[in-house]
Structure 1
């Protein structure tokens, strides 16, 4: 259960132009001014900015670009970065959720320090990137040695000089690759120490490696690259290097986490099977349902990737054909790996498969305050710490100092959760996620909407003003529900996104975790913003299989440049025989304190206005509207039947179709 987000009394406040000032902004004198010359010599430039300041729970709130002190004191203007740095040096609290982003005036035109650093780092990384080359004898050996493995060539059983076996050996694993005339025909992964939790997954891992290296349809020796194999080999190498024998096998630690999460997933499926409304669902459908509505679905070695993934959201998840682990639909997941602890305050990796009790839930559930729980509580366990035994060298040495060194020592390795894809959230939600994992992450200087839909470079964009973005696309429409199997006609929608209250956002990429329960606590928030991004993407980005249309220009955002072909336009116009005007759908986005969407579109002879909330776990709640009948009323259907359609039913339809444009057409078809 996530902690409620803290937010200030004002979401946006006034822009700087709305605050009359009687005196110019005072220039703050800060100790950082003496280091500006030295900072200018850095390739990344100076690092201090108002957006990089941390929050402190003991300090106040900043709103509308002006920070208020005690009553009677004059307000302190926060327009200059130097003043911001000075305030940050005093440890003053800055509630970025309620902070007006008017200080980012001219955001697209200025050369932001973070953006410059990212571009420079990307350029350097591209210049220094290692070319994996093509699959060949030399290419395989060169890549393995680069990742710290030892290589040994052996002649295959046929005795042919061209038929060889490359043995790639590490501390904990060995990989055998059979190759003949530079064509791989066999791959097998084995671990040095027998482990039931690892051995059950080696066949799937070997199959992925073979697919990475063997020639596929339409591939040849000249086109087969080592790129996919490189990613998986690097993952294996990272875990192998951090493993210490005896004492720590990182592969086994991750497999132990899978064991516990898999037991939890199976328990979820059994509980869903007991639900009468899901009695007609297949086993695979129940697994998908548990993936997005319960505690996720853990998968080892899936989607061409070596390792453990906890999948928690899926596009087209309500379709009967949806399955776990397929590549046909976009899926959101968390990769669970190991990483060096570095300077983080952390809980070390523990090697165990007993992270949760055998009954999954507590028999006598009590909440954190010792009161009886209202529902089942998961019986999370705390496995004992995994300690490294003393080495032979420290045992042989004498003295008190060597005795201390010879004691079992903790590990310098943590579990690391990497979000795939990264999740774009507001600043407050990012702090909630980092609080769960006790992770100290850098703050972002970008707005939430700019992270979702980056402003085109060169476009004049003022973050303190409302943002307007337009996109015209086609929507398949059926005029008769009885002809749903026939080809639909295409209808144009002119969608307009309006962001009138910009807030800071953050891209969550990875967090360290000490226990699988940390991830489970994050899932409701992750699903909330994964579904929000899916809704907005489906309305404001091109969709596969649909022709692109001429895009309208906007006042302050510029045109969303989408390439189209004459054939696309001809195909669309041929289906629009009535030559009707595009349906105008306005979508007002408010991201704080909870994501809200206001939909405005023509309905009957008036205008429909629907206010939605995207709640935890991606649930849709209709806050208010002016078109739906009373929740107990019955609405006639096209087939002459009468079926009660409540607001909850309409909200569920949006959850199922995952598309605002489809939902608008469903409302018009049902109620008009």
Structure 2
């Protein structure tokens, strides 16, 4: 069996579908993972010196590898230049490591003015002058960042300064499990780019205050948030454990969202609108593993106390909108406005007040129609020069011009919605959907298998998407109350092909547009999260190499618990997505035969599986996901649905029995809302079915 020759050119993305005839110990010669090997294609030599980057590759020519131009072919000069520029661009993406030299190099690359000074204790202070509206002081001692201080213009309440300094300090700290010497500037560079973008927009628009515009929206949204939080506290009860956190999460997931300035690792204003497993409140933060970890824990102790979900992002994943400014011609879209407030002091309208004039049929948040929003006047640019030295022929410098800036909300993470809903969202914010932007993308391709070919590209309209499979380990509780782990063999069916889009950002003119759309965002964020937890992080199971594709399923070994087959059917169509779940009844499970050599035992077991009583039929439920992620079970066979007195004609319906049935169904709905996990919910349903059978 011969090894591959160097001329073999196998695309990297197809390697998992092929098996190489070479022995496992023989490494592949064509390593496309390295950007330097791109120069090898087409016979380009590797004897290149990049003195400006401190990289020397002399002595690594193709001749040293035994490769010649006749074997690889010769590329023309344009192709050589293109590949070299690609390599340089890839190297330039690396922002360096956290150190004094690394920060200075980053500032030089981004053309940020930098001043260096020394303190008496030997520490170094790097002052980053980010335009005319922001200054950042970074104190470094022995190549370790000890403090960060950020100051921005128009921040009268120090809202941006306090949280922004903490975020920048956190972005320069070592992530969990990463040594300080390996900590890069990537996260800090992203935040620095945001500050620079705000400065560039301000300079290009006669010095208009972009920070002031963002802070104005923050104050208005915080006023609304505190009002709704107060109402939620009255319903929950202030003496209830974790009452404050529960009230905040109720507003976050059911009302107008929770605004936060500089949340997580990201600078800027975030409007958080959904949280996975919001009923699960972490009781303690992460334990530090080093002296540096203790210092970081001290820095973030206040944030963890106010936002305990930051200690457990795996369970309490946050979905948010980051509100920023971006360049946009004022003639094409309504530009930014900087009012004192976007909302009235009374917050809620009078009961007899007329609705807003621009409310469309897409706005489904009934509570937001009660909000007393204000309509601010346009904000005009001031004259750039009062000394009479500006050019009167320059229209861009004329006073009274509207700024070429608009508000934009960026989704973190992007939300996946049906194409019909995506078009409606775009139209609701004043944009027109471009038909040329139509792409055959589906929910499976965008949310579950983004690295594979989208089913929409290979399936004709009206066809069926392929099944998606995964195997998961699920936490369950047995009759004795002990925790066990059960394996689930999951299958997802999507009977109707529905094109979908990932919404990454939308512009807006007024914050009420975002508040009105939050019920729809929560609806699809929740159902996407449910399905992704089961199928998103797991690859489809592969057949063992020795097992034919059509062989019967293997019999579990003695003492081995068989996998529980969980079938899910997803209808992703707007306006009411549905999720059907089918799981076997626990009393219908039969133990494996003691020996595969005993055919009579196998026959008896197969016959018993086909003679199940109706009460032992598989559990089947249909879950409707409504606005604000409200759960409604429209069909189920877990609890008894017979109502006494309804079968006889003319008899009165047993209202008590009907009320008990509704309460049982609501209990099933609350269980899914509380756990937020389809696998855990399925095991809980199986246990409830046994209890229902015993009663």
Q: 2:490 aligns with which of 487, 490, 495?
A: 495
Please tell me whether residue 471 in structure 1 is matched to residue 470 in structure 2.
yes
Separation in structure 1 between the aligned mates of residue 127 and residue 540 of structure 2, nearest angstrom: 53
Distance 1:194 1:657, change over 3 A: closer
After TM superposition, the structure 1 = structure 2 runs for residues 13-52 of structure 1, keeping only pairs within 5 Å, are none
Distance 1:435 1:396, change over 3 A: same
Shift of 1:419: 0.2
2:337 counterpart residue number: 350
Please tell me whether residue 596 in structure 1 is matched to residue 578 in structure 2.
yes
1:319 counterpart residue number: 280
Shift of 1:443: 2.9
Shift of 1:237: 1.1
Please tell me whether residue 651 in structure 1 is matched to residue 644 in structure 2.
no
2:355 counterpart residue number: 367
2:327 counterpart residue number: 340
So what's the TM-score if we normalise by structure 2? 0.66
2:448 counterpart residue number: 453
Shift of 1:179: 2.5
Distance 1:519 1:457, change over 3 A: closer
After TM superposition, the structure 1 = structure 2 runs for residues 216-235 of structure 1, keeping only pairs within 5 Å, are 222-235=181-194
1:514 counterpart residue number: 509
Q: 1:381 aligns with which of 371, 374, 378?
A: 374
- Structure 2 portions without partners, runs of 5+: 1-82, 284-306, 360-364, 551-555, 586-614, 645-659, 691-695
1:70 counterpart residue number: none
Separation in structure 1 between the aligned mates of residue 394 and residue 331 of structure 2, nearest angstrom: 27
Instruction: Give aligned pairs, total.
Output: 511
Q: 2:127 aligns with which of 166, 182, 185?
A: 166
Q: Taking CA–CA contacts closer than 8 Å with sequence separation of 6 or more, which of the two structures ends up with the larger relative contact order?
A: 1
2:214 counterpart residue number: 254
Instruction: Output one character per residue of 1:414-456: Cα deviation in whole Å (capped at 9) or x when no partner.
Output: 1111000001111011112212222345333212222222276
After TM superposition, the structure 1 = structure 2 runs for residues 287-326 of structure 1, keeping only pairs within 5 Å, are 287-321=248-282, 323=307, 326=310
Contact 1:247–1:386 under 8 Å retained in 2 = no
2:95 counterpart residue number: 132
| Bigger CA radius of gyration | 2
Contact 1:163–1:179 under 8 Å retained in 2 = yes
1:237 counterpart residue number: 196
Contact 2:125–2:137 under 8 Å retained in 1 = no
Q: Which moved more, 1:343-352 or 1:586-595?
A: 343-352
1:669 counterpart residue number: 687
Distance 1:220 1:542, change over 3 A: closer
Q: CA RMSD in A?
A: 3.6
Separation in structure 2 between the aligned mates of residue 234 and residue 526 of structure 1, nearest angstrom: 28
2:423 counterpart residue number: 431
2:520 counterpart residue number: 525
Separation in structure 2 between the aligned mates of residue 217 and residue 492 of structure 1, nearest angstrom: 30
Instruction: Output one character per residue of 1:240-276: Cα deviation in whole Å (capped at 9) or x when no partner.
Output: 2212486511112111111111111111111112225
Shift of 1:217: 8.0
Contact 1:164–1:179 under 8 Å retained in 2 = yes
Specify the SS of the correspondent of 1:621: strand
So what's the TM-score if we normalise by structure 1? 0.68
1:622 counterpart residue number: 633
Instruction: Output one character per residue of 1:5-27: Cα deviation in whole Å (capped at 9) or x when no partner.
Output: xxxxxxxxxxxxxxxxxxxxxxx
Separation in structure 2 between the aligned mates of residue 393 and residue 253 of structure 1, nearest angstrom: 24
Contact 2:672–2:678 under 8 Å retained in 1 = yes
Shift of 1:185: 2.3
Please tell me whether residue 611 in structure 1 is matched to residue 622 in structure 2.
yes
Shift of 1:477: 1.3
Instruction: Output one character per residue of 1:574-607: Cα deviation in whole Å (capped at 9) or x when no partner.
Output: xx98534222221111112331112222235213
Distance 1:622 1:551, change over 3 A: farther
